[in-house]
Structure 1
Amino acid sequence: MKKRKLIGLATMGVIASLTLAACGGGGGKKEKGGSGNGETETADISKFPIKTTNEDEAIEGGTLEAAMAMDTTFQGLFDPAFNEDAYDSRFMEVSHETLFGFDEHFMIDDSGVATFKLDREAKKGTIQLVKDAKWSDGQPVVAEDIIQPYLIIGHKDYAGVRYGAQFENIVGMTEYHEGKTEDVAGIKKIDDKTVEIEFKEVNPGLEMADGDGGIWQFAMPAHIFKDLPVKDMESSDPVRKNIVTFGPYKMSKIVRGEAVEYTPNEYYYQGKPKLDKIIIRQTPTDSIVEAMKSKKYDMIISMPTDNYSAYKDIEGYELLGRGELAYTYIGFKLGKWDTKAKRVAYDPESKMANKSLRQAMAYAIDNKAIGDKFYNGLRTAANTLVPPVLGDFHAEEVKGYVDQDVDKANKLLDEAGYKDTDGDGLREDPNGEKLEIKFASMSGGEVAQPMAEYYMDQWKEIGLDVKLTTGRLIDFQSFYDKLKNDDPEIDIYQAAWSISVNPSQVALFGPIASFNYTRFEDDKNTELLEAMDSEEAFDTERRIEIFHEWQEYAAEEAFAIPTLYRNELLPVSARVKNFDWNHAPNGRFWYPVELTAEER
């Protein structure tokens, strides 16, 4: 998922400051580390450029080599209907393109392959192809390709994570999902270039450049997928090996666990792109700095910020920076996913169901110190589950758990009946039973282990016995497999979301959202989530009020504690030209990119 954009220019504040920033590696200053005695260099994200400044004359063609900094193996699910993690999404940025373009406020405009027009009174939306796009196999993009992903995601045999409230809002989708009909009644082909979708209710998110609102952003080649059994698609060649797209480049070679190679899509509607080839190799984070020093790559995607000081001055690279559409959080497992009903099954008797316990664990930690000490100021303490990059929708006035308060944490536990009854320094639960809390956290990067240990040490300070699930940090893919399958050895977990530009939280915390890994549900939460996407929410001021009310409520319930808002850096070789990393207007980075020298 990606982050939503807000009403007004507030949402673009970070992006605008980056665009206007001076060139160079970014400014920084020395500050005392909050969780240690040494000094830590903190960086100011507003000092980094968002576009490459290279103006040299371009060479013809050339191969751009990039690294994907990661400590796991990419899954290789290269279709948005099946993709589940940010690494695959970043591989797809080169080759996959959305149907819709969008403006600086992330509202759908006329700049893409297709347009979307919403008739609020009729509760219908019209998608029309306005450019003669072709798939990388030469077939034209047609109306059937727009309809195809709805038929897959909504199918009863679909095993992915995209089906949810936004799809059920389409007339006839529930009946189709239950296998009662062969087609979705509310989706109609008007002609070869036009599709009409009828909704049960309309909401502001429908007009935003994001799939969470109900309009799926991607087409799928129906001439390839229409005859494949849905249950077999996730493991099929069109998803994993032979990828057909209509973006500027096509995936010409995929070696899982190693690299993806791209060559120009000769049928691209804007014309053939400039590079002969792009190669992105997965590369361990512990070797990425040495790779930069030896000029092994033109670009480092998903560059860690925890070791910023080790690479900030390496010659031959320009550091681009921007606010990341992402945040880190600590979630509490409060139930399971009901696979039969396909919805959250909240358990009010679960180990972590006591709100005072969750709040106490939040007050015990100092995320300001973590942001400075572990991330050089490139991550900052988070107060709500809606980041500031979403502008007015972010509730700055909500205090949350930004300020550490150990005394308050202890008081909450005492009053809730969590007391040390046997004198070992660790609290028992209110029934006097031993309380052991299993904490799942991911491996990767230099600070993963010390940060997990910091959290556990802080929780021990308030008398809680917290141990790592499996006894060690967990690989990225295994971690999310355990979360998705509600591993009983997970009581709390540290994870991160890459979020959408539509601020609606339904797809992350709603009762039928499979991404709701906390499995929390109650009437008030559902009421507020539904209000975000209601008819009344077309009034921008009212929608903002609803979002602020939900953030206050979510902070009180503490089913998920936001810990850090994130900024990201992208080292780019000095020979790369015309790379614009701005989230807006379209985020289509790769088509205009050129090289200005044969070698780095």
Structure 2
Amino acid sequence: MNFKNSIRAGLFLTAAMIAGPVAALELKETPGLDPSLPPVAERVPSEPLIVDLEATGRTVGKHGGKIDTLIGRAKDVRLINVWGYARLVGYNEKLDLVPDILENVEVEDGRIFTLHTREGHKWSDGHPFGAEDLRYYFEDVVSNEELTPSGLPPFLMVNGKGPNFEVLDETTVRFTWDDPNPLFLPELAKSRPPFIYRPAHYLKQFHDKYGDADFIAKEAEKVKARSWAPLHNKKDDMYNAQNVDIPSLQPWVRKRDDSDLRFVLERNPYYHRVDSTGQQLPYVDEVIMTVADGKLIPAKAQAGESNLQARNLSFSDITVLKKGEKQNDYVTALWSNSKGSEISILPNLTVKDPVWRELLRDTRFRHALSVAIDRNLLNRVLFFGLGTPGNDTVLASSPLYKAELTTKWADYDPDKANALLDEIGLTERNGKGIRLMPDGRPLEIIVETSGEEQVQDDALELVKEMWKEVGVALFAKPSQRDNMRERAITGDLVMSVWTGFENGIPTSEMPPDDFAPVRGDAFSWHKWGDYYETQGEGGEKPDWAPAERLMELYKSWLVSKTPEERTKIWEEMLQIHADETIHIGLVSGVRQPVVVKGLENVPLEGIYGWDPGAHFGIHRMDEFYFKN
């Protein structure tokens, strides 16, 4: 099946969706909307996205109500654009990539992408949405040196070249690259997508190519912008939800700027999705996001102050949350965390110290540290035995999963650990029983922590005792993430603890950038990632065979044409990680509590993660509703 057919088949699968001809669907008005708005038939696209809820195990809902939720800081209001999850293309719950805002996508030879918008689709202010909005983004925003001095973003570049962009008609555009670009569609589905469309009718007034110079000067003065470009960038706010004037395509839109502690997000009356009975989504009228001290959010959720809460809740809160269910009339759903590991110990393979560098790159050393850890004990003590002990790798819900990836070099075997350390030559010990490094220093590993997750500190305390049994001393060093990143940059970071791979449920169609040294913010190999990101101007070129092979595979993925090619590449990359124990993962599949009060269609079992998933997004928050 080529991708053109695959994405069309996925469209049918995502909502089991088309329930008879669209023309036969009787659209229903939403109660409580401004009566001056046009009728619903003029607000939704001529071919809206029709979802058959019953086919996906959900129930048809009804309009009304307000979802109260708590956020730990004002800037988290931007999560409304994550949770709403209106994307040009997005993932369904089977992790198929399917059209959403777009009516259809055609892909030819992996390099020609024809995007069809929906005829009659409108922005939240009622202005038409279509090809002009995609053209404006490409030609007037990312191709404008004053607005985007860094040039086209990486997902629009293939072998150093951007695409040929064409407007075919009012609802159709085409991107054509010389070579395949498998990065393009997955990028559009991210929790924070690039928004390759912009409300041209709104932003043109701030663009020097289209706007009135006097008006632009006055507006720039209001916000203390030096010129039209920073003014435009400030107004061009598709993600952060700070500009209440910019139109949106999301299910809920921020229209008020009257508080920085309580944010009211109102339904978008022009939203493009409807249910099979003709009701326009979203079902819920408003989402209210209230700022609270992050440490108090679990107690507030237990007191029934939130209708939908996962943010600022963790596994350790489950017991308390369960106790409050009956009294405050809510349910604590337990979703599976989609990270490759809840806790991962990360050796820094580009550490500056030459002795540490040689030791950390010795596969036997990483294997020894891994098999010296009793993960079953960690799972029982920290997670009541509910997690899965094992490596930092893909989870069972990923189509790329193989059981051996989880267990290889992850079984507790202190005898094997001792034998490996002896084989390396670390046989001498000091008076405390700690082995000596080749230069005579005691083998004392400083593992730096961000101080953000108590469970990481608790895990290190247990690992400390286990490593001590094989002659390795561990010292946990509390720090902050910015300091840790700075020490990774300088090469002073030896080892750190962090969460595992962000995406533990990848498909072959998702880019394997977490598994190759292509990002400078990775604690395991900053200098290699920096080398790739700066195109050789910074960092260091990979000089370790497994890293070199991972880079070769990643570059092969970037020019791959078929899912079969990409699957083969992914499988080898995952095998290298399992063979080399590049990350020392501890326990995966740890449950994320989700407090649900009064809402229907919220799954009791789901996946919770950033990419893919968008927290609630992949479960379609616009389909949640209040029964009463």
**Shared fold, TM over 0.5:** yes
Please give the residue correspondences for 1:23-34 in structure 2 after superposition, counting only pairs within 5 Å. Answer: none
In structure 2, the residue matched to 1:263 is: 266
- Contact 2:337–2:590 (CA under 8 A) maintained in structure 1: yes
Q: 1:268–1:103: structure 2 CA closer, same or farther, 3 Å change rule? A: closer
- Contact 2:124–2:249 (CA under 8 A) maintained in structure 1: yes
> Is 1:224 aligned with 2:203?
yes
Q: Which among 104, 123, 136 is matched to residue 135 of structure 1?
A: 123
How far has the Cα of 1:434 moved from its partner? 4.6
Please give the residue correspondences for 1:18-97 in structure 2 after superposition, counting only pairs within 5 Å. Answer: 61-68=64-71, 73=73, 76=76, 78=78, 90-97=79-86
> Is 1:529 aligned with 2:554?
yes
In structure 2, the residue matched to 1:341 is: none
> Is 1:333 aligned with 2:348?
yes
How far has the Cα of 1:132 moved from its partner? 3.6
Distance 2:163 2:460 in 1: 49
Distance 1:255 1:451 in 2: 44
Q: 1:400–1:189: structure 2 CA closer, same or farther, 3 Å change rule? A: farther
Distance 1:456 1:283 in 2: 35
Distance 1:595 1:536 in 2: 45
In structure 2, the residue matched to 1:579 is: 602
TM norm structure 2:
0.67
Deviation string for 1:519-574 (max 9, x for gaps)? Answer: 254321123334445547533xx654443332221122222233332254444444
Deviates more, 1:588-597 or 1:361-370: 588-597
In structure 2, the residue matched to 1:242 is: 243
What secondary structure does 2:388 align onto? strand
Deviation string for 1:74-95 (max 9, x for gaps)? Answer: 75594xxxxxxxxxxx443344
Distance 1:377 1:256 in 2: 44
In structure 2, the residue matched to 1:433 is: 441
% identical aligned pairs: 17
Distance 1:400 1:256 in 2: 52
In structure 2, the residue matched to 1:311 is: 321
In structure 1, the residue matched to 2:537 is: none
- Contact 2:464–2:474 (CA under 8 A) maintained in structure 1: yes
- Contact 1:371–1:564 (CA under 8 A) maintained in structure 2: yes
Q: Which among 396, 401, 404 is matched to residue 394 of structure 1?
A: 401
What secondary structure does 2:166 align onto? strand
> Is 1:118 aligned with 2:107?
yes
> Is 1:404 aligned with 2:412?
yes
Q: 1:364–1:163: structure 2 CA closer, same or farther, 3 Å change rule? A: farther
Please give the residue correspondences for 1:71-220 in structure 2 after superposition, counting only pairs within 5 Å. Answer: 73=73, 76=76, 78=78, 90-102=79-91, 105-120=94-109, 123-146=111-134, 163-164=153-154, 166-169=155-158, 174=160, 184-202=162-180, 219-220=197-198
How far has the Cα of 1:153 moved from its partner? 7.2
Deviation string for 1:560-593 (max 9, x for gaps)? Answer: 2333322544444442233357569982523233
In structure 1, the residue matched to 2:563 is: 538
Distance 1:554 1:418 in 2: 24
Q: 1:168–1:365: structure 2 CA closer, same or farther, 3 Å change rule? A: farther
How far has the Cα of 1:118 moved from its partner? 0.7
- Contact 1:357–1:412 (CA under 8 A) maintained in structure 2: yes
Distance 1:133 1:485 in 2: 47
Q: 1:426–1:380: structure 2 CA closer, same or farther, 3 Å change rule? A: same
The Cα RMSD (Å) is 4.4
In structure 1, the residue matched to 2:502 is: 498
Structure 2: unaligned runs, 5 residues or longer: 1-5, 8-55, 208-227, 274-279, 529-541, 608-612
In structure 1, the residue matched to 2:335 is: 322
Q: 1:205–1:260: structure 2 CA closer, same or farther, 3 Å change rule? A: same
In structure 2, the residue matched to 1:383 is: 391
Structure 1: unaligned runs, 5 residues or longer: 1-5, 8-50, 79-89, 176-183, 338-345
What secondary structure does 2:338 align onto? strand
> Is 1:297 aligned with 2:303?
no
How far has the Cα of 1:190 moved from its partner? 2.9
How far has the Cα of 1:300 moved from its partner? 1.6
Distance 2:96 2:452 in 1: 35
What is the identity, as a one-letter code, of the residue corresponding to 1:129?
T
In structure 2, the residue matched to 1:366 is: 374
In structure 1, the residue matched to 2:625 is: 594
- Contact 2:550–2:573 (CA under 8 A) maintained in structure 1: yes
What secondary structure does 1:326 align onto? coil
- Contact 1:54–1:574 (CA under 8 A) maintained in structure 2: no
Distance 2:234 2:379 in 1: 38
Distance 1:323 1:389 in 2: 10
In structure 2, the residue matched to 1:509 is: 515
How far has the Cα of 1:322 moved from its partner? 3.4
How far has the Cα of 1:65 moved from its partner? 1.0
TM norm structure 1:
0.69
Distance 2:382 2:554 in 1: 34
What is the identity, as a one-letter code, of the residue corresponding to 2:552?
E
What is the identity, as a one-letter code, of the residue corresponding to 1:297?
S
Q: 1:416–1:168: structure 2 CA closer, same or farther, 3 Å change rule? A: farther
Deviation string for 1:102-139 (max 9, x for gaps)? Answer: 55543333454342211017x31111212543333444
- Contact 1:372–1:378 (CA under 8 A) maintained in structure 2: yes
- Contact 1:100–1:114 (CA under 8 A) maintained in structure 2: no
Distance 1:146 1:483 in 2: 41
Q: 1:201–1:370: structure 2 CA closer, same or farther, 3 Å change rule? A: farther
What secondary structure does 1:591 align onto? helix
What secondary structure does 1:279 align onto? strand
Q: 1:537–1:95: structure 2 CA closer, same or farther, 3 Å change rule? A: closer
What secondary structure does 1:524 align onto? helix
Query: Number of aligned pairs?
Result: 503
Bigger Rg over Cα: 2
Greater strand fraction, Structure 1 or Structure 2: 1
Deviation string for 1:187-219 (max 9, x for gaps)? Answer: 33333322222234337676668658xx96764
Distance 1:238 1:133 in 2: 18
Distance 2:495 2:422 in 1: 21
Distance 1:468 1:149 in 2: 47
How far has the Cα of 1:185 moved from its partner? 4.1
Distance 2:375 2:235 in 1: 40
- Contact 1:300–1:572 (CA under 8 A) maintained in structure 2: yes
How far has the Cα of 1:466 moved from its partner? 2.8
What is the identity, as a one-letter code, of the residue corresponding to 2:496?
I
Distance 1:480 1:409 in 2: 28
> Is 1:560 aligned with 2:570?
no
- Contact 1:133–1:246 (CA under 8 A) maintained in structure 2: no
Deviation string for 1:364-421 (max 9, x for gaps)? Answer: 2233332333123443123352222212x11223332331222222222222233445
Distance 2:348 2:259 in 1: 32
What is the identity, as a one-letter code, of the residue corresponding to 1:335?
T
What is the identity, as a one-letter code, of the residue corresponding to 2:350?
G
